[in-house]
Chain A
Amino acid sequence: MQVTSALRDPLVTGGKTVKDVSHDISRQVEGKPTRLWWMAMAISLALLLWGAYACAMLLWHGIGMWGLNKTVGWAWDITNFVWWVGIGHAGTLISAILLLFRQRWRMSINRAAEAMTIFAVICAASFPAFHMGRLWLGFYWALPLPNAFGSLWVNFNSPLLWDVFAISTYFTVSLVFWYLGLIPDFAVIRDRAVVQGNNIRAQVYNALSFGWQGGAKTWMRYESVALILAGLSTPLVLSVHTIVSMDFATSVIPGWHTTIFPPYFVAGAIFSGFAMVLTLLLVTRKVFHLEDYITIGHVELMNIIIIVTGSIVGIAYITELFIAWYSGVEYEGYAFYNRVSGPYAWAYWSMMTCNVVSPQLFWIKKIRTSLVATFVLSIVVNIGMWFERFVIIVTSLHRDYIPSSWTMFYPTWYDIGQYVFTFGIFFTAFFLFAKFFPVINMAEVKSIIRSTSEKA
């Protein structure tokens, strides 16, 4: 039975009916792409091409093309990897954790956020894959297969191998979860295509929907599967960034060797992920006229999550500084003194401004309900989170234990090119998704329309 609350604001505005939902969301899949979409696609493909050139050079000549040196053996590659994995986390938080907490506002944003997760994880995975030099052998080396040098196995004590398992499981489970949600919506498009007499589209979307029919028994099983997947994804998403942080935390490098890393990385991941969800959704809602589905209320709730996670990240930064001093460990103390006031101080203070100061502006209601301010701040947060990873990685490495090997890191065009490549993949995939797949979960929105629409 539906429960109508007099206290809550409607989640979907504009007095939509169930039929309107099918129409509004399917329309953009059925129509011809707009000029705006072609323009966006052209820019994404240009980025992809430029990046593909850089990646081809990296494969041909090897990763010596990167700006790494003997002291700084990890820089943009791993920074970008952690950044992209982190961005992916918001999708799972919205679709799994908010499902367990019965937060129904997630229903109009979970589809796009999960798509973002999947594309972000693909982008992230490309960095370690390229780092292995021979991309085509990398997958073979990373899996527990007896290799060509004898029956030597992979090292299960290494966090880098845990990463392989964590990221590939995370990718697979997110993909399955996302696709499961798409199945009933593909069936909506199929049946509309039958009515419109478009046979090819009907066949394609029927295959995509696995012949979905929507019987009560199937729905019952479907809901139980979705709930368990959410239950599995919740610890999974927390484990992924925990394991990513262990790449650093299990080392003996001052600045990396800290037990605060797992929760601090997970909070940072959700923080940057929500920022990216906002950047993408504000554009999507405008381009596809989804203002009634992705309302200011949604934007405001996401901004509140940004305040919470941004503040957790801020506390983590301050804790790190405090412990560096309080521990009395000379090396740890120096690593942080160098971060705050050394040659990379500009990166540290950019990170502090973008991640700790700027999200606090969302305490002001006018700012967190303003689309322009949200859009600008969401980009600022993403820049800040990129700097966070850069600061952790490069400033901890560039001042070695031996002062004679102290150095700086300068990216080459190939570092930049590969980063651009991942943007190309990400935006191309996202725009293709936004055109050919329903960007809002129709079935879920329909199930709440009676109790939360203005008409009721």
Chain B
Amino acid sequence: MDADKHFVVGIFDDEDVLLKGIKKVRNSGVKIQEVYSPFPVHGIDDALGYKKSRLPIAAFMFGMTGTSLALLMQIWMLGYDWPMIIGGKNFASLPPFIPVTFELTVLLSALGMVGTFMIVSDMKPYKWPRQFDIRSTDDKHVMAIDLAVNAGKSKDELSRILKDSGASEVNEKSFD
């Protein structure tokens, strides 16, 4: 992570200007590090060229794990390990196992998906984020451009591109 220490940071006031701005910046051959917003902006993932999240697949896999574990547990416990006669019913019959199976499917799916989200997004309670601009959680959209990644362009050139794309302010930010 040595490379990304010096950034040019563009501040945008409005989400529509931001969306157009992202396209302009990318069309002029600049690689955007990330855009930070106080709220989810619709269409920003397409504008930045992000691929669709694969979290739904993770949720499905965790859910299926829950279904299988719940069924295995119930059939094994009541069907094989300790069969009990309850109202003369079969030892292992499916219908009474449905509620617990459903609940465990939902539980594992939800917890597994949120856990995966936390891990892939690198969210930890003891982590202090690298803040490009403190207002990015309040009311500004903040576009960070890494100078090392865009080595072909000078700071001034990048500032000019950002200004032309609708940024209300352009700052520099360095991290040590």
Contact = CB atoms under 8 A, between A and B. Distances in A.
A188 B137 contact: yes
B138 A165 contact: no
Contacts of B99: 159, 162, 165-166, 239, 243, 246
Contacts of B89: 157
Interface string B146-176: 0000000000000000000000000000000
A221 B110 contact: no
Given A180-B114, A221-B120, A232-B106, 4 more contacts: A191-B136, A220-B50, A239-B102, A447-B39
Interface in A216-249: 216-225, 228-229, 232, 235-236, 239, 243, 246
Given A155-B86, A443-B40, A173 B81 contact: no
Nearest to A445: B39
Contact of B126 (A144, A177, A183, A207): A207
Interface string A264-302: 000000000000000000000000000000000000000
B77 A153 contact: yes
Contacts of B67: none
A416 interface: no
A214 interface: yes
A447 B40 CA distance: 7
Interface residues of A, number: 67
A214 B125 contact: no
Interface in B77-136: 77-78, 81-82, 84, 86-87, 89, 96-97, 99-100, 102-104, 106-107, 109-111, 113-114, 117-118, 120-131, 134-136
Interface stretch (A14-22, A35-43, A335-343): A14-22
Contacts of A215: 34-36
Interface in A157-213: 157, 159, 161-162, 165-166, 169, 172-173, 176-177, 180, 183-184, 187-188, 190-192, 194-195, 206-208, 210-213
A298 to B, nearest CB: 20
5 contacts: A1-B42, A22-B139, A157-B87, A165-B100, A211-B125
B28 interface: no
A183 B121 CA distance: 13
A211 B128 contact: yes
Interface of B: 14-16, 19, 34-45, 48, 50, 53, 55-56, 59, 73-74, 77-78, 81-82, 84, 86-87, 89, 96-97, 99-100, 102-104, 106-107, 109-111, 113-114, 117-118, 120-131, 134-139
A450 interface: yes
A153 B118 CA distance: 35
Chain A residues touching B, majority SS:
helix
Nearest to B123: A210
Contact of A214 (B38, B118, B126): B38
B96 to A, nearest CB: 4
A446 interface: yes
A116 B40 CA distance: 25
A229 B82 contact: no
B118 A156 contact: no
A144 B77 contact: yes
A100 B39 CA distance: 19
B50 A216 contact: yes
A184 B59 contact: no
B111 A219 contact: no
Contacts of B97: 156
Which of B81, B106, B136 is most buried by chain A, counting CB atoms within 10 A of its CB? B106
A444 interface: yes
Given A17-B139, A155-B84, A228 B134 contact: no
Given A153-B78, A176-B114, A228 B100 contact: no
